[in-house]
Amino acid sequence: MDVRTCLIVDDSRIIRKVARRIVEGLGFEVDEAADGIEALSYCVGLMPDVILLDWNMPVMDGLTFIRRLRTQAGGDRPKVLFCTIETAPERIAEALGAGADDYIMKPFDGEILHSKLSEVGAV
């Protein structure tokens, strides 16, 4: 049986916990990373099926992370959904242009996450 894995990347521990609860409720195995560097080193070991990605993080932000990810071997596989308070259309377009599969504006709930995961074919 294929277990779907989701990596939650956000510098806020609280947000990671809240998102974890929702994502586990949708049947995913969840792991966490606090910034882009941690997320990259996780992915080198195991490419997750889905990545929920914050934008503004210390050390390495979400935009830099996804650009690096997509150049890695197998880096085109994960469905990457930005998950951020940024709502400006130019920023959303920038994220999509950098290789994100979709974009979730915070705050979000289980309904929206499920809808967005369906959009990218992850559920």
Partner 1 sequence: MTQDDFDRLQALLSSRAGFRLGRDRIHLAEHRLAPVARREGFDSVEALLATLWVKPVASLGWAVIEALLNSETWFRRDRAVFDTVAREVLPAIGRARPEGRVQVWSAGCSSGQEAYSLAMAGLDAGANIDIVATDLSMRALDKARSGVFSAFEVQRGLSARMMLQWFEPAEDAWAVRPALRNVVRFARHNLLDAPTDDARFDIIVCRNVLIEMEPARRGQVVDYLERRLVDDGVLVLGVEERIDGDSIAFRPVGGRSGLYVKSPSAVSRAA
Q: Which is nearer to partner 1, 73 or 88 (CB)?
A: 88
Distance CA 36, CA 10 (A): 9
Q: CB pairs under 8 A, 24+ apart, for 119-122?
A: 120/50, 120/79, 120/81, 121/79, 122/4, 122/49, 122/50, 122/79
CB of residue 118 vs partner 1: minimum separation in angstroms?
A: 7
CB of residue 48 vs partner 1: minimum separation in angstroms?
A: 20
CB of residue 26 vs partner 1: minimum separation in angstroms?
A: 15
Which residues of the shown chain bind partner 1 in the complex (CB under 8 A)?
87-89, 92-93, 96, 100, 102-105, 108-109, 111-112, 115-116, 118-119
- DSSP string for residues in 5-53: EEEEE-S-HHHHHHHHHHHHHTT-EEEEESSHHHHHHHHHH---SEEEE
Q: Which is nearer to partner 1, 7 or 84 (CB)?
A: 84
Q: Which is nearer to partner 1, 40 or 63 (CB)?
A: 63
Q: Which is nearer to partner 1, 46 or 93 (CB)?
A: 93
